[in-house]
Amino acid sequence: METKIRATITGTGSYLPAKILTNAELEKMVDTNDEWITTRTGVKERRLAAAEEAASDLGAEAARRALKEAKVKPEEIDCLIVATITGDMPFPATACFIQNLIGAKNAAAFDISAACTGFIYALSIGKAYIESKTYKKVLIVAVDLLSRITDWTDRGTCVLFGDGAGAVVLEPTTGEQGIHSIYIGADGALTHLLHQPGGGSRNPATAKTVADRMHYIKMSGNEIFKLAVTAMLDSARKALDQAKLKCEDITLLIPHQANIRIIEATAKRLKLPVEKIFVNIQKYGNMSGATTAIGLDEAYHEGRIKKGDYVELVAFGAGLTWGAAVIKWGK
């Protein structure tokens, strides 16, 4: 019988810009206050990329850190997948910029767009490549600079978002460690609830689209809240079912950091105690797909995940998209 190949994470890395924007500073920019932001969202501060930094710059640094930890040279990478909705340019792919920056000259390189679920979607692709023996070393980067598409005059959305990048290296294993299951889904009938209407082929950039502020994030917050909890709960349960595990088997749940109330509602319905939930929304806000990648890197380096532990990632995002991944930690 053929030995089962599984994709395992051999290195993680993340990069956060130096600039911190606090709630106190936001109070001077828009009609809001720290108490309102903290109570409604859980965010206390967020990171903002410097003017000269693009998505590829943040992504490349996270990638370098993941490669160093995995003890893998850039030229050994077979495939580079970047999850982003705020790439350097509409084309070419931000993955191509990162490939050049880090010297991954032998890697196929492409982007995917699944918004806040992007990292989990990218993991599903990397997992399939490894398990099918198409590639042996896959580098996945999730990066977004949401500050570049945030309307800083909109008090309902500007308090939520920040910038950052996370990365992982995937390699094959025949052991029990690695990615045990991934569940992903989408509902295109709900695209209108969270989108950036300007800049694409439907509404190409014009003086009018700029004047109408169509190049910023538009979100129906109340509707998203209800759908997010349901989607994350369903995704988490389905990924666990696929892995033949129960909630109590999970050492740590790393949910997408969109809103503390969504995180708490999801945890409550999964009946997970607070010590099993990873939260860093207070430091960074919502960084789209980068949130779960950065959360995984931080949780490991904080000692909250150890070899043999089961960790679950769960997210939802524009599309609407959603997904969850169950990993038996092998590092």
Q: Which residues are catalytic?
A: 116, 256, 286
Q: Which amino acid is at 146?
A: L
In terms of Cα–Cα distance, which of 94, 112, 92, 102 is closest to 13?
102
Query: Which DSSP category does 54 fall into?
Result: -
Around Cβ 193, how many Cβ atoms within 10 Å?
18
Please report which helix (H) or strand (E) contains residue 276, including its range: none
Provide the 3-class DSSP secondary structure of residue 296. helix
Give the Cα separation of 304 and 100 in Å (integer): 34
Helix ranges, the chain (H)? 23-27, 34-41, 55-70, 94-102, 118-131, 207-211, 221-242, 260-270, 281-284, 290-301
- 168 forms beta bridges with 12, 140
Burial of 274 (0-12, 13-18, 19+ CB in 10 A): exposed
Around Cβ 219, how many Cβ atoms within 10 Å?
17
What ranges make up the beta strands (E) of 71-158?
A: 79-83, 108-112, 138-145
Strands 108-112 and 79-83: parallel
First to last CA, the chain: 27
